[in-house]
Structure 1
Amino acid sequence: MNEGLVSRRYAKALLKYAQDQHSADQIYEKMKVLEVNFLSHPELEKSLQNPVLSARDKEALLSAAVGDAAGEEFLRFIRLVIKNRRESFMRSIGLMYQKLYRELNNISLAQIITAIPVAGEILDKIKQLVSQKADQTVEFTYRVDPSIIGGFVLKIDSMQLDASVNKELKLLRLKLLNSKKRL
């Protein structure tokens, strides 16, 4: 069966259930924590696919991955996923839930990338400017990537503003290559 279809169906069902239980916000936060743990611990996904591991152990793994109090709604969902042998889809279900939640609540994702760490007040200023221009709520993430050499890259959903030195150097290189071809 198509992974996207399975993930979407489970995520939609969870979102509907969470809305009925007034816990959609809490589950959204748990799904973000779960995704961070999937990224930082690749063995988590491998463990969920392990047929030797019992359902109880998989449930314990997933509840530990979301932190202290997983919440009854989230635990019931985990049990359903494991009972239906869909635990290998848990990461994509979590990502799809986040996507559906953001669409429902009109939330955009913004990522700020700089070459060196930036002071908090500068980040706050950038966040404030982006939030003023956006017609929706914006969730920010920040990371440092020395490969951009200088400047910054701002990504908002599918749009990107690349004001990095690395991009400027690439454009300059292309101009030089094109000018050599003309000679």
Structure 2
Amino acid sequence: MKVFIAGAIKIKELKKIVIEKLDGIIENNFEVLLGDAEGIDSSIQKYFKSKNYRNVEIYCTNREVRNNFGNWKVISVFAKDNERGRAFYTVKDKKMANDADIGFMIWNGESEGTLNNMINLLKSHKRVCLFLNNENKLLLLKEIKDLENVILSTNLKTVSLYKKLLKKYSFQNKIENEQMKLI
């Protein structure tokens, strides 16, 4: 089983539930696909290193590895020359979503990258184990509708971001919830 783990750069500490899930991944010897960013990526890298866990692959863009604390195997994904900023790293994230069997996302309700990763996984019919960091709550998302229900319980800024991402990445999903139509 290949698990794509990602989360917000703003989240620096791992909560107890996240650590329990990481320990379960170690116990099952699942292959971990992990990015090289600060925040959650770095925190999880440090945790796996402290446990001497070797079944980890670090994904980076254009051979520019920002963090690899465990000296794990690196998978480099190449972006087009004109891609900058978020688009530059989205190439790597899409590859991780494609290579994974399931996702484990640690989200603060604001991170565009984490939200985009969930959309990519769900539209590929892959489940997402979602940890809502601000609420200390774990959810299993099986389809895009499950993500929409989570979005509805957040703020208007997150709803707008979600709609923007759906349009930006040409995901043809119609939001049927009446509350969404009113916003």
| TM > 0.5 | no
TM-score (norm 2): 0.28
Higher helix share: 1
Q: Which has the larger radius of gyration?
A: 1
